[in-house]
Structure 1
């Protein structure tokens, strides 16, 4: 079981870094659900699928399959707050993808507990383990919260 946990964590981090965290919406494949965006990654017996709706405000779910059976999932929802400028929204999401590439084996759900670049700061708090967890992340521009997201999940 410990080996499977380690393999799942390694796969999950690679899948996340290979899809949205690196490519954003450019990583999408034809979606199964109308109006959604869908990202996928496969490595051997493991398959990752992330389906989400929306852009500025969004909701979605990541699922990991092993031998075509769902074994782990995480639901999430959030988005930018009180911002309508498209360029500012793009820069916030680019910064978010930067933070998401820094996820760790200890907490492979989203990004690190803290990440800074210029005047942006990413904060992430979580409780639990891969089996069952929940968390909250936000991005601040100086002292103003400009993005937030809540997530939860675990083994199925």
Structure 2
């Protein structure tokens, strides 16, 4: 499972930094990433509020999945600033959860929190961003290994 974890971390660093290949079709944003025997596909719809589905294939067989849904709750700091902060949190190196961001990340008055349960085989979580006392972004996710 170590090589799957390494692949997931490589994918996340690439897509959160906006370096992954993608195209838009029928309103869905498709993102792909390949490395060795592994292939990642993500389909996402929406903008400020969005939902998506990630699948990892090994030798063309689906082995892992994650679904997610959430988004921006208000414009206290502006969409561009919020999404830029979120990207920095998601690629933060010091963490144990490779599926989204770290448990805690802060810059000035912005605080990213990730509540994560389970392991790579079965998991669920919630990430959110606070600006002062207000929650301005929230996303729920779940998934795991496929049988």
- 1:46-72 CA-to-partner distances (Å, cap 9, x unmatched) read 011111001100000111110011100
Q: Which runs of 5+ in 2 are unaligned?
A: none
RMSD: 1.8
3-state SS of 1:8 partner: helix
For residues 31-50 of structure 1, the aligned pairs below 5 Å read: 31=24, 34-50=26-42
Q: Which runs of 5+ in 1 are unaligned?
A: none
- Partner residue in 2 for 1:53: 45
> 1:143 and 2:143 equivalent?
no
Contact 2:21 2:33 in 1 (8 A): no
Contact 1:58 1:79 in 2 (8 A): yes
Contact 1:9 1:105 in 2 (8 A): no
Q: Distance in 2 between matches of 1:15 and 1:96?
A: 16
> 1:30 and 2:23 equivalent?
yes
1:153 Cα offset (Å):
0.2
Contact 2:111 2:131 in 1 (8 A): yes
- Partner residue in 1 for 2:112: 122
1:104 Cα offset (Å):
6.4
By percentage of residues, which structure has more strand?
Answer: 2
Q: Distance in 2 between matches of 1:71 and 1:111?
A: 22
